[in-house]
Amino acid sequence: MKIVIISDIHGNFDALSHLPEDYDELWVLGDLVNYGPQPAEVISFIRKKATHVVRGNHDHSIGFGDDSHCPPRLREMAEATRRYTESVLSDEDKSYLRSLPLYLDVWLGKTHCRLCHAVPSDPPFAQFPSQPKYWEEECRRVRADILLVGRAHVPFGRWVGKTLLANPGSLGQPKSGEAAASYAVLKDGKFGFRSFHYPVNVTAEKVRAMPIAAPIRSELIAILRTGSVPQESNQPVFVRALAY
């Protein structure tokens, strides 16, 4: 079985629709919406194609009309695009976001996979920790063979005891320093990271047409084109590939 794992699409339908991979199952680790120009199209695609989907902090924010719990650096951007996203989604779309589980346990034969957006103890909201001791406690609590998380927008993988901790990176708003959509593939007992380029300029023009403040539009476009947030630091290490 070939499983494609994606996360943090953020309303970027151009990236999602250019995913260059066939799959038996599609797993989504949250944040379908906000920031990007086409959240409704993303939700429609995911509802038709995805096998497993968990709720991210932005999904929760839009679905429940709640705070996204973004760091101060991104709060203004999150709130401005939240108002836009709420205006273009239907009640059915928002109901779907509310219905998404905070985490899922999936078994592949004898392999136990835990899917969540942030960390198991605070699935949608927690800021992504870098301290090894923090993850040791989280992995010990979950007791999964594979712990799949999103939120960081940077792909990485590492062993924490007997647990493979992995983040596929962001499909729709990568922050790995490159304007390439990131995802992961789990097939035949091997886990690997992949990335691809999509028509970022097309997405940028769609962002430019969003009815939000010009400085926020400009910053969103800069993030898409550079794969980084201006003046942001302390990103997790970008790991290209890992097998287990």
Q: Is 239 a domain residue?
A: no
Beta strand 52-53 pairing with 103-108: unpaired
Q: Is 232 a domain residue?
A: no
Q: Is 192 a domain residue?
A: yes
Q: Is 117 a domain residue?
A: yes
Q: Do the Cβ atoms of 160 and 143 come closer than 8 Å?
A: no
Q: Is 240 a domain residue?
A: no
8: exposed, middle or buried (C-beta count within 10 Å: 0-12, 13-18, 19+)? buried
Q: Is 146 a domain residue?
A: yes
d(CA 180, CA 15): 9
pLDDT at 130: 66
Burial 114-135 (b: 16+ CB within 10 A, else e): bbbbbbbeebbbbebeeeeeeb
pLDDT at 241: 34
Domain with 79 in it: 2-226
Q: Is 235 a domain residue?
A: no
Whichever domain contains 203, its CATH number is 3.60.21.10
Q: Is 152 a domain residue?
A: yes
Number of domains forming the structure of the chain: 1
pLDDT tens for each residue of the chain, 244 residues long: 999 999 999 999 999 999 999 999 999 999 999 999 999 999 999 999 999 999 999 999 999 998 888 888 889 999 999 999 999 999 999 999 999 999 999 999 999 999 999 989 888 877 766 667 788 999 999 999 999 999 999 999 999 999 999 999 999 999 999 999 999 999 998 999 999 999 999 999 999 999 999 999 999 999 999 999 876 444 443 333 333 2
Q: What is the pTM of this model?
A: 0.92
d(CA 185, CA 168): 9
**31-82 per-position pLDDT tens digit:** 999 999 999 999 999 999 999 999 999 999 999 998 888 888 889 999 999 9
